[in-house]
Structure formats: structure tokens, C-alpha cells
Structure 1
Amino acid sequence: MTIVAARIDGRLIHGQVANLWSTKLNVSRIMVVDDRVSEDPIEKSGLKLATPAGVKLSVLPVEKAAKNILAGKYDSQRVFIVARRPKTYLRLIEAGVPLDTINVGNMSQTDETRSITNSINVVDEDVEVFKELDNKGVYLKAQMVPNDPEQDLMKLLKEA
């Protein structure tokens, strides 16, 4: 299997993921990895509606996503993984899923978050998980859309 990209986006599948990123990366499958959403039929229906025509969709809990990836279930496909939080990717990596780059796109602002960029807002736990991912050799890039310049998220975190 070719994991063509992994992205953190609190909105999961929406215009940027469905149109810009999926087209740019020429994906054949979008894999949403989220324990809660995988159990919510209404949210899953919304994600199906937002998925571009001709692109397959998987909505899986972390454990099943890792198991399927490692078993080679998607070996002939170009897979784009999308998750809401960095912790999901740490769990995938700890389960053995090889990821070398994660695109941090959109993490929405709440009363508990602090702003790193216009679109990336974090809590302390997110920062600690980003540090763990960085220590595991994962390059964390901040990039909202394909035409935006790529920025090193760890440098942005140090500056914030």
C-alpha cells in the first residue's frame, strides 16, 4: 500500500481535503481514523457524502485501521489518512504503521486552545504528542492547501 499522505484536520473531509488534496495526491481511498466517528452512523453518512466521486472511503477506529494497513488490505491503493488529533497518529505509529510525514492542516480554536497559526490551535497535550512524534522521526509540516508554502510545525511551536 502507498500511504500518499497523512493529515490532521479537525473537519475531516471537507472542501480542501475532498477537492484540493485528494486531486493533488491522486488518491484512491480516504481513510478517516477516529474511534468515535467510526461508531457514529450519522457522521459516517456525512463523510460519505463529502467524499469525491471515484474515491473509496474507510472510517475506522485506530486499532482496526492499523491492523488493516499492516495486513496489506490496501496494498494496491493510494491512501490518504485523515484524523482530527495528533494522538491518533501516535497510536498508529506505536501499532507499527510506518509514517514519516504528517501534514497538520486545521485544528480548530476552542476556549482551551492557543493559536500556533491562523488554522492550528493546540492544547498542551497536543504539543506533547507532537514532540513525541518528532522524537520518533516524523516530520510535522503545517500546510493548509497544496499551494501554500510548507512550514516546519516544530519550529512554529517553539516560536509560539
Structure 2
Amino acid sequence: MAEIVFTRIDDRLLHGQVGRDWVKEEGADLIVVANDRIAGDRDQQKLMNIATPIFAETVFWTIDRTISEIEECFEDKKAMILVESPEDAYKLVEADLDITSVNVGNMRSLPNKEKITDNVYLGKEDKEFLKKIHDKNINIDVRTLHADKAIDENTLF
């Protein structure tokens, strides 16, 4: 059974910063990109695979497949799950996957989003999903790089 060691919200999903920094620091050897759009886009998968460290494996699954298969499909793997949004992270938490913390790493500036950090902008709906995650006693860790100091999660709500 795979052990979920890290869950990250990053609207870029898998990129160099994640592959270089977070995978190693969290001890993951399996990267699950849980995203309905990317699961069916081979070109994007090829680009993202460039960031996969040599010691790790990457799979591109839908949110539903991640929920149904992550804990059973990979024997003795340490999994990092990457999602694009707080809503997708909430779906994983709501499905009772063994997630104890959710990192919020990068969410770009878009209309109707408030700046939280230089790399994290949240809209009303984003905050609502993060609050729901928090209310399930799951830690919200807001930082871009592993070495960064996390901000107080209560400033999100």
C-alpha cells in the first residue's frame, strides 16, 4: 500500500521546483499528478515528466482514480499528490485518504483573487475549500519552497 507523505496545491502541478525540492525533502518516490485535464493530455504529461527525479515514478490520474486507487496500487511507495486547486485537495480529504497536511505552494494571480503571499492568490471559493480542509483537522501549510517559513494558516480564513 502506498503511504501518502505529502499533498500539494500548485496550479502548475509538476515542475522543477517540485521535482528538485519537495520530492527529495518529503522522501517521496511516487508522484501522483491528480488532475482530470492532465490525465488525458499526453503532451502536458511529457513536459511535466521532465521534472521527475530519476529515483521517482510519476503517474497522471484523474481525481476519482486517485481516490479509488492511490492507497492500493503501489506497494511500499511513498506518494506525493499534486493537485491544481483547493477544491481538488478537498475532494481527496473528503474521500478520507490518509492526508494529514496540505501544502499550498503556488496559485497565480487571477481576477477576484486576493494576494496571500508573493506566490499564492486566493479567491472566495478557494478560501472556503481550505477552511473545510482545516475544519477536518488537516494542517494547511502555506509556503512555496521547503526552506520557506510557513505563514499562519489562520490568515487564510
Look up the SS of the partner of 1:53 in the other structure.
Answer: coil
Look up the SS of the partner of 2:50 in the other structure.
Answer: helix
What is the distance in 1 between the residues matched to 2:144 and 2:155? Answer: 14
Runs of 4+ more than 6 Å apart: none
Paired residues for 1:114-129 under 5 Å: 114-129=114-129
Q: Deviations over 1:38-86 (max 9, x none)?
A: 111211111122212121001110110111124x212400111111101
Q: Deviations over 1:82-106 (max 9, x none)?
A: 1110111111122221211001111
Look up the SS of the partner of 1:151 in the other structure.
Answer: coil
**Aligned residue identity for 2:15:** H
Q: CA RMSD in A?
A: 1.3
Q: How far did 1:9 drift?
A: 0.9
In the alignment, structure 2 segments of 5+ residues that lack a partner are none
Partner of 1:19: 20
What is the distance in 2 between the residues matched to 1:95 and 1:24? Answer: 26
What is the distance in 2 between the residues matched to 1:54 and 1:141? Answer: 25
**Aligned residue identity for 2:136:** K
Q: Are 1:98 and 2:111 counterparts?
A: no
Q: Are 1:41 and 2:37 counterparts?
A: no
TM-score, normalised via structure 2 length: 0.93
Q: How far did 1:156 drift?
A: 2.0
**Aligned residue identity for 1:138:** I
Partner of 1:78: 78
**Aligned residue identity for 2:35:** D
TM-score, normalised via structure 1 length: 0.91
- How many residues align? The count is 156
What is the distance in 2 between the residues matched to 1:7 and 1:128? Answer: 17
**8 Å CA contact 2:102, 2:140 repeated in 1:** yes
Q: How far did 1:120 drift?
A: 0.8
Give me the identity figure in percent: 26
